[in-house]
Amino acid sequence: MSTAYSLGNTLLHIDNVCLEYDGRRVLDGVTAEVKDIIVPGRIQGQVVGILGPSGCGKTSLFRIIAGLNKPTSGRVSVNGFDRSVIAGEVGVVAQDYPLFEHRSVLGNLMLGAMQKEKDSKVAHDKVMAMLTEFGLQDKAKLYPIQLSGGQRQRCAIIQQILCSDHFLLMDEPFSGLDLIMLEKTCELIAKIADMDDLNTVLIITHDVTAACSVADSLWLMGRTEGKTGSSIVKQYNLIDRDLCWVPGIITTARFTDFVREVKDEFRTL
């Protein structure tokens, strides 16, 4: 290992989640957890890539983790709470980066900030600090239609960070991006995670290579023998494989071999 680390408290716990829809089992005993990654001397958040073929239930799990849907049985809990997650505790960034078109960037973000801050000045200060952090301080008075795709993505992310508790779910954040934007999006995800030790970003994606380049762990979803619904069939710890926090790792044969390993497993599902 090039970097020493340890694991702290459980931040997110998925406990035997099952989901049935119209008599069909979609999810069957999904169990996993995200623990706080502790690296001495630096802030280190968590990034989890959730992979799986189309129709395997990734979106259903996404909505359950976000507290938007309830499972048939089992539960998802966050921050050590002895209860199911509540909608709003986990920020959700949809694939089309939805924003209110009739509100300015500042107006959109103030809506998010006021979910947690009752003092409008405190909320405004937080919004402006986040805009500066993400290089959008000169876009506050613009409207969503005046933003580029990358700027809109950053605004949608900021909005969810402002109103949620350290958790961010992203649905297909790499879809349709060229190579330059793909690289910038990976850098953005890493930056979000590393803003706070407790920050956790979960990415639903089909892009195996991009997920491998930014995540510290991967969950591979699919169906196993004896189950009618999907579960997490394999988990990969990229830290223990020395594939995290290593400059230039994505250009190495070791990284390429790992991506091939994950893709080969993906094809069997």
Give the residue from 134, 18, 11, 30 showing the smallest Cα distance to 79.
Answer: 11
DSSP 43-77: ---EEEEEE--TTSSHHHHHHHHTTSS--SEEEEE
pLDDT of residue 25: 92
What value does the mean pLDDT of the chain take? 91
Question: Which two tokens mark 136?
Answer: 């959008």
Instruction: Note the pLDDT tens digit of each residue in 117-133.
Output: 888 999 999 999 999 98
Residue 23 has pLDDT above 90, yes or no: no
Using a 10 angstrom Cβ sphere, with 0-12 exposed, 13-18 middle and 19 or more buried, the burial of residue 257 is: exposed
pLDDT of residue 2: 64
pLDDT of residue 181: 80
Instruction: Note the pLDDT tens digit of each residue in 85-129.
Output: 999 899 999 887 888 999 999 999 999 899 888 889 999 999 999
If pLDDT is split at 50, 70 and 90, which confidence band does 164 have?
confident
* Inter-residue contact 215 to 258 (CB < 8 Å): no
Residue 161 has pLDDT above 90, yes or no: no
Q: Kindly report, as residue ranges, where domains of CATH 3.40.50.300 are found in the chain.
A: 6-89+166-267
CA pair distance 107, 185, nearest whole angstrom: 24
Instruction: Note the pLDDT tens digit of each residue in 224-264.
Output: 777 789 999 999 999 999 999 888 899 999 999 999 999 99
Residues 6+ apart with CB under 8 A from 203: 47, 48, 49, 50, 170, 173, 189, 211, 214, 215
pLDDT of residue 116: 83
pLDDT of residue 88: 87
* Inter-residue contact 193 to 244 (CB < 8 Å): no
Residue 158 has pLDDT above 70, yes or no: yes
pLDDT of residue 1: 52
Give the residue from 161, 155, 157 showing the smallest Cα distance to 89.
Answer: 161
Q: To the nearest whole percent, how much of the chain has pLDDT over 70?
A: 99
As its CATH architecture, domain 6-89+166-267 has 3-Layer(aba) Sandwich (3.40)
Instruction: Note the pLDDT tens digit of each residue in 189-226.
Output: 999 999 999 999 999 998 999 999 999 999 999 987 77
